[in-house]
Structure 1
Amino acid sequence: MPEPYEPNQLPLNCIDWAEHVSLIGKANASLARYDEILQASVNPEILISPLINREAVLSSRIEGTRASLEEVLVFEADPDGDVNPKKRDEIAEIVNYRKALRLAEKNLERKPLHVNMIKELHAVLLNNARGRYNEPGQLRTIQNYIARPGQPIEQAIFVPPYPFLVPDALSNWEQYLHSEEKDPLVQIAVLKAQFELIHPFRDGNGRIGRMLVPLIMYTKGLLSRPTFYISSYLEQNRDEYYQALLSISTEGDWNHWISFFLRAINEQAMENSQKAREILRLYEEMKTRVPEITRPQYAVSAIDTIFSRQIFKASDFVRISGIPKTSARRLLKGMSEEHIIEVIRKGRGRRATIYACIPLLQITG
């Protein structure tokens, strides 16, 4: 079989800092502008919730999951609906990804990022999903590999380090995480790649690796909240993403990967900023329209509920918004008539009517 990869000791001594100066400046500036939007928002949650949903879908899609954002949200609104088992597993992966991101943000309020926290996130990620039998939350004890479907290890594209090397490699990774580097974005590039090359788990390494990007950004003080999502760029440039990672193991070419990662941060920060501005514009528009339909004291709760769920049934709307049932149902009817929300599935028998905020889905879909 191909020789297992032997991780570099961190910090690296092969970074060509001069080569990356321009991209470092652009990426840091774009990221700062994105964080300014988050900080300026009176209620950052109206931005974060739709963007987290989008990230969960796109990060899982890189790994072959095909469930759409709408399918995930419809399932959450009606878990007892008709969904084939394969699609149900895919949806579970996406829901778990979002749960892990939320847990990470909560944990980072109390303690710094560390390997045991990452294990906890991994356990959430694989819980009751396709990877449930791949030792959730545990470092791998077997030699795994990456290959095309059905191919043996002899034809592997990449063979990670021997299992007995994983704990020491992660210890070195964690020491570097908590050290200072000339530029934190370059440091994050190295940390993300090194984590995925160590491949510490039997499954879910790529998703955890992408999840680590905003968590480390927050740890390094680059973000006011750990809410930067990179999977859109990586999904659109999947071949280059994998090739840049592979070039580290095959050629020792860290600078190619660092350049790719900095471009990804720059372009993704600009896209995230644009998405955030579009979400805020829609929110402000709804703040003008919804009070015309209901009592002023209900308007903000109604809008915030829509932005937190995007697709929902009436009982969820009542529960989350806290609006009295009679007023809430009247409000749903009024918002539907004004096309603020749309009925995407009419209720029948015991099946509830499902509503969606189509403009918000168009922004984040």
Structure 2
Amino acid sequence: MEPYIPEMLPLKGIIDCERLLTFVARANMMLGRYDGLLCGIVNPTIMLSPLMNEEAVLSSRIEGTQATVDEVLEHEAGLVSPKSNHEDIKEIINYRKALLSAQKHLEDKPVSMYLIREMHRILLDSVRGQNKSPGEVRNEQNWIGPAGCSMENASFIPPDPMQLSGFLENWEQYARANEKDAIIQAGVLHAQFEMLHPFKDGNGRLGRILIPLFLYQKKVISRPMFYLSSYLEGHRDEYYLRLRNISSNKEWNEWLEFFLNAVTEQAVANVRKAGQIMALYEEMKGRIQSITHSRFTVAVLDSLFWSPVFNVIEFAKNANVPRATVTTIIRKLKKHDIVKELKTGKGRSPSVYCFHSLLDIVKK
């Protein structure tokens, strides 16, 4: 097998717009509906942080990690289990850091290879792959196949490193161009990035982070908060098959059908889940106020949504509320089953609680 030579972008004479018309219409309609919901949320970064946590877990799981959302949040709250895979958890935390860093970057700069290299450095910080040149485009040949296989037995060989810079420059130019439909363009960019495989490790996760960033850059969504990994993880075999068939049979239209359907189905799921989160927020705002009669109700509520598993010390810091006040409020919330105690504090070790109603929504 020889290194893959990709099509230059934009694709000419390949995309069948008539064939994709229905898929495009449905994807744009449902993504627009989800974005309308986003626009109606006062603080989507806080309220939809559970979806970001889920994205970090599921995108990393596609690459083989096993940690759950609960394990990641419990780890951050100081509830350390000897059974947890701490390296998997660190990879997931890095993924979330890369997402947040990229969102801040996009406030005044476009998607670029500079941004991608910075995200790559964050992804591989102190985890598996940290010895694989974080932030540096590969300068040697890599390949994809069973663990430990030789290049002769590879299922896919990305482009020759000597040609890679030219293909990446073409990719970056296309990311700044305007296509007839931005969702199709996002699908092309994602697939091309995965086939270029520009880094020694972390390409899959980076490629999936780029999807909402690009859609945000093109103003398809008002915030870079649309995550596809739930659908892609649930259809992992077809996801990989469709990508492979581009390189083996030039099946770009089949890939784009899959990608557009993924956007549609994920938008439907996100509308449902975001709606449930918003409803829970409004319900809890009233309940917490009636239970605590506190002027810190909103600060406490926002902190619950940002960190649904927490210890009292960090919770007080995040909410910017005196610790004694937080302790009193949490005691009342526990009594009314709004939070549950996971670990009783002892000595200098604080108690750990969970906001179980929010976690239940994320797990559905």
| TM-score interval for Structure 1 and Structure 2 normalised by the shorter chain | over 0.9
Shift of 1:157: 1.1
SS in 2 for 1:175: helix
SS in 1 for 2:353: strand
SS in 1 for 2:342: strand
Distance 2:261 2:127 in 1: 33
Distance 2:302 2:114 in 1: 34
Name the TM-score, length of structure 1 as normaliser. 0.97
Q: Which residue of 1 aligns with 2:66?
A: 66
5 Å matches for 1:321-336?
321-336=319-334
Q: Which residue of 2 aligns with 1:346?
A: 344
Residues 146-195 of structure 1, C-alpha deviation per residue, up to 9 Å, x if partnerless? Answer: 11123222111111111111111010001111112121111111000000
Deviating beyond 4 angstroms after TM superposition, the runs of 4 or more aligned structure 1 residues are none
Distance 2:161 2:290 in 1: 62
- Any conservation in 1 of the 2:340–2:354 contact (CA below 8 Å)? yes
- Any conservation in 1 of the 2:60–2:91 contact (CA below 8 Å)? yes
Distance 2:64 2:81 in 1: 22
Q: Which residue of 1 aligns with 2:253?
A: 255
Letter in 1 for 2:362: T
Q: Which residue of 1 aligns with 2:204?
A: 206
CA RMSD of aligned residues (A): 1.2
5 Å matches for 1:285-296?
285-296=283-294
Q: Which residue of 2 aligns with 1:123?
A: 121
Distance 1:82 1:309 in 2: 18
The structure 2 residue matched to 1:170, chosen from 168, 171, 196, is: 168
SS in 2 for 1:182: coil
- Any conservation in 1 of the 2:48–2:277 contact (CA below 8 Å)? no
Q: Which residue of 2 aligns with 1:9?
A: 8
Q: Which residue of 2 aligns with 1:55?
A: 55
Q: Which residue of 1 aligns with 2:359?
A: 361
Letter in 2 for 1:22: T
SS in 2 for 1:293: helix
5 Å matches for 1:33-48?
33-48=33-48
SS in 2 for 1:343: strand
- Any conservation in 1 of the 2:47–2:302 contact (CA below 8 Å)? no
Distance 2:104 2:253 in 1: 34
Shift of 1:83: 4.1
5 Å matches for 1:70-81?
70-78=70-78, 81=80
5 Å matches for 1:271-282?
271-282=269-280
SS in 2 for 1:226: coil
Letter in 2 for 1:230: L
Q: Say whether residues 1:311 and 2:314 are aligned partners.
A: no
Structure 1 vs Structure 2: percent identity of aligned residues?
A: 45
Distance 2:140 2:87 in 1: 24
Q: Which residue of 1 aligns with 2:27?
A: 27
Distance 2:209 2:200 in 1: 17
Q: Say whether residues 1:160 and 2:158 are aligned partners.
A: yes
Distance 2:165 2:215 in 1: 24
For structure 1, list consecutive stretches of 5 or more residues without a partner in the other structure: none
Distance 2:113 2:69 in 1: 30
Residues 286-325 of structure 1, C-alpha deviation per residue, up to 9 Å, x if partnerless? Answer: 0111012223411111100000001000001111112222
Q: Which residue of 1 aligns with 2:91?
A: 93
Letter in 2 for 1:8: E
Distance 2:5 2:149 in 1: 22
For structure 2, list consecutive stretches of 5 or more residues without a partner in the other structure: none
5 Å matches for 1:99-114?
99-114=97-112
Letter in 2 for 1:104: A
SS in 1 for 2:85: helix
Letter in 2 for 1:362: D
Distance 2:320 2:256 in 1: 48
Q: Which residue of 1 aligns with 2:138?
A: 140
The structure 1 residue matched to 2:263, chosen from 257, 265, 273, is: 265
Distance 1:298 1:47 in 2: 17
SS in 2 for 1:297: coil
Shift of 1:112: 1.2
Distance 2:295 2:156 in 1: 58
Shift of 1:82: 4.5
Aligned residue pairs total 362
Distance 1:67 1:360 in 2: 19
5 Å matches for 1:208-223?
208-223=206-221
Shift of 1:212: 0.3
Q: Which residue of 2 aligns with 1:185?
A: 183
